[in-house]
Amino acid sequence: MVYKASESRYDKMEYRRCGKSGLKLPAISLGLWHNFGNIDNIETSREILRTAFDNGITHFDLANNYGPPAGTAEENFGYLFKQDFKAYRDELIISSKAGYGMWPGPYGDFGSKKYLVASLDQSLKRMGLDYVDIFYHHRPDPETPLEETMGALDLMVRQGKALYVGISSYSAEESTAAFKILKELGTPCLIHQPKYSMFERWVEGGLMDVLGDNGVGCIPFSPLAQGLLTNKYLKGIPQDSRAASGRGNGAVEGDRITPQVLDKVQKLNAIAESRGQNLAQMALSWIMKDPRVSSVLIGASKPAQVIDCIKSTENYVFSAEELKQIDEILK
């Protein structure tokens, strides 16, 4: 059956300006890190994407190494894009990244111009696109001059292969240096994608201030701490979870789920319930309360999870007492 997007798709989603740019992003964006590889059911992937777009999620976030195996998330997205979303290309923000190991030899990893240019060419081919809206350097490279890596990002914009560029997992100091180089090149950094959740708050130690001062958007990944900040672990580790089996890149390691962590999860859940939210919704709202956050990246293994996460946008105002209680739990 030919897909026709919902006519009410823009009615409820909030769109936030990305830093000081002209671009707005949906408050919730969909990441394709998991559940879109060749080990996954393509029809479930299709339904997740359709549900997201039908509810105002216009931003799909990928990377060269997403799968598994690496590359297959982009291939499968390309297949579904051609079938369902090609007519809506100008309504979509599609992003990809490179920076992790992708092919053998010295040119398939990190941050050289050789690697980044080749990787984006491969990504465009896999997805069947002429350009991506955002292209990121996925992680800092301690051995390649930052001028070379940022120069490669600038080159991709000038070649018309990317409209905007971003960085991911850079520290406050590394980000400051990267922003300066990109600004001088004439291709300012649009966005930073850091790992940020209630359980991982390193960005509060300076990075968020750097982003705000430089007018760069922030789009946190792993906001639910690989599922820890959901109802999944309220009663311990489910036997069918990735954490129990050790299965799959990005799963929570079972030894991280200690009695102390579970106690925190249960206390946080009690606050969420008092707010009329579930734990995942509150965890997303807690990140979105910061106006410097342009969007929050979620993952989903079923369409219902997308709908559930979108409800977090209905209430991200916290009282001073709620924030105090949350900080006490997270100490």
Q: Which residues pair with 192 in a beta bridge?
A: 167, 218
Taking only the tens place, the pLDDT of each residue in 280-322 is 999 999 999 999 999 999 999 999 999 999 999 999 999 999 9
Q: Please tell me the predicted confidence (pLDDT) of residue 101.
A: 97
In a domain, 270, yes or no: no
Taking only the tens place, the pLDDT of each residue in 47-56 is 999 999 999 9
Please report, for the domain that includes residue 176, its CATH number: 3.20.20.100
In a domain, 261, yes or no: no
Peptide bond into 68 cis (omega under 30): yes
Q: Which residues pair with 97 in a beta bridge?
A: 136
Closest Cα to residue 174, out of 159, 156, 201, 194? 194
Query: Can you spell out the DSSP letters for 177-195?
Result: HHHHHHHHHT--EEEEE-B
Question: For residue 32, what are the domain limits?
Answer: 15-226+290-313
Q: Which tokens sit at 171?
A: 């520290």
Please list the alpha-helical segments (H only) found in 203-302: 207-214, 242-245, 259-274, 279-288
Maximal C-alpha separation, the chain: 54
Q: Which amino acid is at 184?
A: E
Q: Please tell me the predicted confidence (pLDDT) of residue 233.
A: 84
In a domain, 305, yes or no: yes
* pLDDT, average across residues 246-272: 80
In a domain, 235, yes or no: no
In a domain, 56, yes or no: yes
Helices (H) and strands (E) in the chain, counts: 11, 10
Is the alpha carbon torsion for 278, 308, 95, 249 positive or negative?
positive
Q: Which helix (H) or strand (E) holds 97?
A: strand 93-98
Taking only the tens place, the pLDDT of each residue in 167-180 is 999 999 999 999 99
Taking only the tens place, the pLDDT of each residue in 212-257 is 999 999 999 999 999 999 998 887 776 666 555 554 555 566 677 8
In a domain, 176, yes or no: yes
Q: Which residues pair with 205 in a beta bridge?
A: none
In a domain, 279, yes or no: no
Q: Which residues pair with 255 in a beta bridge?
A: none
Domain count, the chain: 1
Q: Please tell me the predicted confidence (pLDDT) of residue 256.
A: 79
Peptide bond into 69 cis (omega under 30): yes
Of all residues in the chain, the percent with pLDDT exceeding 90 is: 91
Q: Please tell me the distance from the alpha carbon of residue 189 to that of residue 260, in angstroms, as a whole number.
A: 39
Q: Which tokens sit at 134?
A: 């955002």
In a domain, 25, yes or no: yes
Q: Please tell me the predicted confidence (pLDDT) of residue 146.
A: 98
**Strand, coil or helix: what is 279?**
helix
**Strand, coil or helix: what is 220?**
coil
Closest Cα to residue 111, out of 167, 37, 70, 51? 167
Taking only the tens place, the pLDDT of each residue in 148-158 is 999 999 999 99
